[in-house]
Amino acid sequence: MWQLSGFIDEISPDLDEQVGLASALGLRFVELRSAWDVNILDLDDAQLGRVRRTLSDAGLAVSSIGSPIGKIAISDDNGPHVERLRHALDVAAFFEAPFIRMFSYFMPADASPDDYRDEVVARVRELAAVAEGSGVTLIHENEKEIFGDIPRRCLDLVEAVASPALRLTWDNANFVQCGVRPFTEGYPLLSPHVEYLQVKDALASDGTVVPAGEGDGEFRETIRAFARDGFDGFVSLEPHLGFGHSLGGFSGPDNWRRAHAALTAILREEGIGYA
């Protein structure tokens, strides 16, 4: 049984509106990235308490903290970022979230990411070491403009770090935007390391994000294969149907409903059970 979740800050900046639509759609889990236009890691204790109470009152649990960990330049000081991860682990524990999404550092413009491979591995290894023993798993998202943008480098990263605290989250649209055919080129390499799915699709012609199954992300082939191979985890909507940027995106309630409808229709058609 796949568990649906989603980045509810793409519904509205307002927490009550986020939670209202998530509840109306029957979700039992959400992914926390921001509330009131403030990143989840920058909310104060009172705000975090309000978020937890609001979710609890609505019967919603947290699948993952949609953090920006790893979304700094590879040339930036990593020390403060390690401390930010420690705070992210505290936030995850506060919400009883089993996962924290993270990234593998922005690369300099016009540079080859492979030139920074050893530095990235060392930094991510340090982050994973901090997470080990916490009960929380870091899930690296394939994202454009970072080291782990294409399947080969995602695989290299997770194998080189070799930590039980580091796994992968899979995003079809991001692969498309990097010129990758997700299922054809990515699935055979990465599927054993994937713990979490993030759902959006994209057009290969210009990178425009579209609902699941409406782009060139080989979405049906991908989820069919994950189901066949026994995936049984979280599937999180990140629609980006209004706009997207380096630290997030926005869709609005109507587009969020549209993204949810597209995903659930495909799951039903493919005979994949979800809750």
Tell which residue, 79, 78, 97, has the closest CA to residue 88: 97
Q: What sign has the CA pseudo-torsion 18, 139, 88, 104?
A: negative
Convert the pLDDT of each residue in 175-231 to its tens digit. Answer: 999 999 999 999 999 999 999 999 999 999 999 999 999 999 999 999 999 999 999
| Residue-level pLDDT at 223 | 98
| Residue-level pLDDT at 247 | 63
- CA-only gyration radius of the chain, Å: 17
Fold classified for 3-269: TIM Barrel (3.20.20)
Which pTM does this prediction carry? Answer: 0.96
Q: What sign has the CA pseudo-torsion 231, 30, 241, 1?
A: positive
Query: Which residues does the chain have with pLDDT short of 70?
Result: 243-247
| Residue-level pLDDT at 12 | 96
DSSP string, 16-74: HHHHHHHHHTT-SEEEE-EETTEEGGG--HHHHHHHHHHHHHTT-EEEEEEEEET-SBT
Break the chain into its structural domains and give their ranges: 3-269
What strands, in cross-sheet order, belong to the sheet with 137-141? 3-6, 234-237, 194-199, 166-171, 137-141, 99-102, 61-69, 29-32
Question: What is the percent of the chain where pLDDT is above 70?
Answer: 98
| Residue-level pLDDT at 249 | 75
| Residue-level pLDDT at 243 | 65
